[in-house]
Structure 1
């Protein structure tokens, strides 16, 4: 009887030990993941931005090939965005601010970039990929700008001279998170020329002596933004406007492109290309009174901050 009890006690001890080991093995193999609320709740707002600062300098002394003794170029690009999405409602906001100056011994200081551009689109989904939307866009520059026809310095722009404010209701097509196409047959646009000397010349389609002009027409805006990876990002926009009131066949074109390459933690390279055509901007040609395609290309290497 004692032997039997001993055997039973040994078997019970062995079984308990085996079960304890099994439980330990299961504990190692089983991982319980506890999700945090922020992991399961979709974010309603996406906010961020990017700032790029580029600086280049050159100097020449007894240089046989010729050139300016001193040159300095400074440019900066600031892109901010704030996107809202909840249920059938969306609200996309972007702010672009570009500023650049160049200084050379022979030409002096000149502005080579200056643009402030605010775009806001509110939409309500009515079908997959389609929204009924309202758009508001403001575009101008902050500082005075000049043209240098035949080396003669002439004032060409100032804050709100010109300035463009556009309000429109239409359809917004969004096939994905990177691209959107806004189309409207009814858009109101106001052109401002607040500088008195520019207003007196009747520039930018505003009658001489007046400071604003109202237009009504069709408007299309295509927007693309993509951060392909941690190194490369690209942003593009194309706006087309046809004024029903005056020469509707002469379409105003505004296009901007920004390509950013991150070379290191702080160092980056940027390429900014802008194209504008407005038949009412008559500052070019031999007589300085003709329209023309305006093209600007800026390449730089400098510092970049992403937030």
Structure 2
């Protein structure tokens, strides 16, 4: 978790205000006629981004590189009577190859989030959410000699779940508040004593407050902005510290199959790292919707 010093508070408030302004600035659409509500909306999206550079007798110098990132996003939205069920899978993996250094991991992520809601008023639902988050392969800190392992498959792995209240304006705009969220952290024997798990143990349990927000909009023709925000505070271990994760995905549509993609991903989590975690990805690649379906 990250200590709430003044700099952090200002940054957190700024992110929260930006997210709030974006939510409140969504234009209200006047319905001219009542249209049927889809029972199922399914969208599966595959993205492949490739980068390559090669040098031969280049006076300015340079290093041959090959890099590729594969991302799969899968969204399931279900509505029937007062029930609402949203499930989102986000998974990706990327590698780069540098001459004389070999392969380096550039992306490694698996996240499954499912949220069940029972409608209580126009936009409010009683809710229950489950979130699973981990990575596929071992990661290293290459600044150390020899290189130091910092993560592994299912180590850490996070399982969070709990009841709450969901405010949902649409499939592209919602906020879930879960004040009694249980979180289990799993590590293997190599990483025992890290990620908030006590030395000699492989699991840790926390209970806290969780807020998750999602907002996606077209900011202009063929330009889509997606915002994902998660805030967590552990009641059992330094509740004044706050975990914060924010991801922004900006997509520029070139044509039906090609898009330019920019991802900015920021994490504050003192159990995983005492410093700000930051990841940025930029590239032009193939975008393919492999499963797109709407049923009534």
Fold equivalence (TM over 0.5): yes
User: Which deviations, in whole Å up to 9, do the C-alpha atoms of 1:170-210 show, x marking residues without a partner?
Assistant: 1111133421001121110001102x2222xx111111221
1:158 to 148, 152, 155: 152
Q: Please, what is the CA RMSD of the aligned residues?
A: 1.8
Aligned to 1:180: 174
Q: Which has the higher contact order (CA 8 A, sep 6+)?
A: 2
The answer to whether residue 216 in structure 2 is matched with residue 198 in structure 1 is: no
1:62 to 46, 57, 71: 57
1:304 to 268, 273, 287: 287
Alignment check: 8 A CA contact 1:192 1:211 kept: yes
The 3 A distance-change label for structure 1 pair 59 and 303 is same
How much has 1:228 moved relative to structure 2? 6.5
The answer to whether residue 278 in structure 2 is matched with residue 295 in structure 1 is: yes
1:88 to 82, 94, 100: 82
| Superposition misfits of 4+ residues, deviation over 4 angstroms | 227-230
Aligned to 2:19: none
Aligned to 2:206: 215
How much has 1:96 moved relative to structure 2? 0.4
Distance 2:76 2:221 in 1: 20
Aligned to 2:106: 112
- Where in structure 2 are the equivalents of 1:43-62 lying within 5 Å? 43-62=38-57
Alignment check: 8 A CA contact 1:260 1:268 kept: yes
How much has 1:40 moved relative to structure 2? 7.4
The 3 A distance-change label for structure 1 pair 230 and 116 is farther
Distance 2:164 2:150 in 1: 33
Aligned to 1:34: none
Distance 1:211 1:126 in 2: 40
Q: Structure 2 length normalisation: TM-score?
A: 0.82
Distance 1:227 1:305 in 2: 19
Unaligned 5+ segments in structure 2 are 1-33
Aligned to 1:122: 116
Alignment check: 8 A CA contact 1:262 1:304 kept: no
Find the residue that maps to 2:191 and give its secondary structure: helix
Which structure has greater helix proportion? 1
Distance 1:262 1:216 in 2: 42
Distance 2:171 2:51 in 1: 36
